[in-house]
Structure 1
Amino acid sequence: MSIRDWAAIRRALINGDSYNSEVSAHFADTTDPKRNAVKDICLVQSNDSILIAQQRIRFFREEIQKTHLKPTIIGQPKIDFDADVKYHPQVSIEFRQTLTSIPRGKYPKDARISWRLMNETSESLTFAKMNDVAALVYQQFFSNRFSFKKGKVIGWYLSPSDGLALQIYCLDAAEAERVAKYVVQAIGKTWNNSIFKTTNPMYSSYYSYPHNYQNKQYLKFD
């Protein structure tokens, strides 16, 4: 690769809606000096060599996002797996951050929990069945308002046969398990503890200091 080619790639990584933008968005919700220092390590700089830039990207992907820990292996060809799951009707619930937990000058965060109706297709789903699903959602999530605290810890619950591919960002592992277990049981499925996993990105502990609770800096969703 020529020096000119690398310079063009480096500019693309730094500018616009590219790698550095993704890094900045990941660390946008913090003013902690230690996390800001980690952010600076991840950002590609204008004088970085190819090797240094590769190390920064690898550090962000593996140590911060923990991408190498995310499950990617399934028991059949991926193209068949996707066809079996993704084309079933999907139920999605949108959450918005509680107003009292939004720091001054910040916008409310949002979150989503979804699952697929594996016993239905676009042809078999009727208005009557949709009304039944709507009634279940209202009963389980709205009649007694369901809420959770969002953070950097990710709870994973992958059960394709149940239409579940939960990826839940919560304050800690216990909260992630509580939310995942509630969703599984709320839609009439059986909880399998061996399926549930958590990913705890580096420095996520800065989101759970006691003063965060006192200042309501955690994200509570209703």
Structure 2
Amino acid sequence: MPLPDDFSPAQHLLEMLLGTHNRTVQKTFIGVPDADLEHPLGGMKLACLLTPDDTVDMILLRMMLFWFEFKGNLPAPLYAIPTEDYQSKILYPYRPEVKLIFREDYSVFLAENKFQRAKAEISWRLINETSASMSQSKAHSIALRIKEVFAEGQGFIWERGITQVTYRDPPHGVRFSLFAASQAEAIRVIERVLEVAEITFNEELIGVSKNNKNYPLVPPTQEVYGKPTKGIRRRPITEVRFQRAELHIYGLRSPIILVDLRNSGDSLV
């Protein structure tokens, strides 16, 4: 069917963005009223929502504010090694890896102190699978379990902290190390992960390392390279929320996104 004579690509694009982008913003700011600058997150929500009168520059700035500043999707500096080297030196080389990623919610406290949001990752190896045996149907089954256990509502939340809790079960491809607010909180998270992995929890495999060192909420400023620089948060006590799950398969350059609460549209479920 041909397009109508008065069809405007620019207007059509804006209408599509208004529908999809604003719907995502509304889902993210559940409970935050529209145009309420008294609410701690009201100003951020107002700034992220597109309006029919926005110019192209305003549209880009609002979307960049939401996805990069609020959602924290800017790439961070990191140390890395080639995938082939990493896969070949681990305990179970070349076995598919499932990774769960959790991230601290945006807050005024983080913005005012210019802190990066705390992050946590938990992963395990599918020791009974290989790159050749792994299939889309198997990945989809794992994704459904993750969605059921971790993606309900706005995502599963747990509290990070200074207590290091390990859970090692090498025959099942499991080597967890969590910094949690308590041993009980770490076990709560581990039990959920093992539920997804379909592995029986064994309390005897738990290890705990308590640290009595004081980690300040706001680290003091220190001199770095001749300039006063805000200190880095270490082992912050804060809540982290499930964000997405990835499946890494040796031979694929990019991970398969199993579940993604960022509404990116490219996950299996």
- For structure 2, the residue ranges without an aligned partner over 5 or more in a row are 1-88, 218-235, 242-269
Matches within 5 A, 1:87-166: 87-100=94-107, 102-103=109-110, 104-105=112-113, 106-144=115-153, 145-166=155-176
Match of 2:237 in 1: 218
More helix by share: 1
1:147 positional shift: 1.1
Q: Residue 102 of structure 1 contacts residue 219 of structure 1 at CA under 8 Å; is this kept in 2?
A: no
Q: Residue 157 of structure 1 contacts residue 195 of structure 1 at CA under 8 Å; is this kept in 2?
A: yes
Match of 1:170 in 2: 180
Match of 1:195 in 2: 205
1:100 positional shift: 3.5
Change (3 A) 1:133 1:186: closer
Q: RMSD value over aligned CA atoms?
A: 2.5
Given candidates 184, 190, 197, the residue that maps to 1:180 is 190
CA distance in 2: counterparts of 1:179 and 1:204, whole angstroms:
24
Change (3 A) 1:181 1:204: farther
Q: Residue 102 of structure 1 contacts residue 108 of structure 1 at CA under 8 Å; is this kept in 2?
A: no
Scaled by the length of structure 1, the TM-score of the pair is 0.54
1:186 positional shift: 3.0
Aligned length: 133
Change (3 A) 1:168 1:129: same
CA distance in 1: counterparts of 2:189 and 2:108, whole angstroms:
19
Scaled by the length of structure 2, the TM-score of the pair is 0.45
Change (3 A) 1:205 1:196: farther
Q: Residue 151 of structure 1 contacts residue 219 of structure 1 at CA under 8 Å; is this kept in 2?
A: yes
Query: Counterpart of 1:130 in structure 2: which amino acid?
Result: A
Deviations 1:118-166 (A, max 9, x none): 2111110011111111111111110252111111211100001221110
Deviations 1:194-222 (A, max 9, x none): 00111112325877xxxxxxxxx731111
Indicate the SS of the match to 2:187. helix
- For structure 1, the residue ranges without an aligned partner over 5 or more in a row are 1-81, 208-216
Change (3 A) 1:174 1:180: same
Q: Residue 149 of structure 1 contacts residue 219 of structure 1 at CA under 8 Å; is this kept in 2?
A: yes
Identity of matched residues, %? 24
Q: Residue 162 of structure 2 contacts residue 237 of structure 2 at CA under 8 Å; is this kept in 1?
A: no
Indicate the SS of the match to 1:122. coil
- Who wins on radius of gyration, i.e. which is larger? 2
CA distance in 1: counterparts of 2:123 and 2:90, whole angstroms:
18
1:86 positional shift: 3.4
More strand by share: 2
Deviations 1:9-56 (A, max 9, x none): xxxxxxxxxxxxxxxxxxxxxxxxxxxxxxxxxxxxxxxxxxxxxxxx
Kindly report structure 1 stretches of 4+ aligned residues shifted beyond 4 Å.
204-207
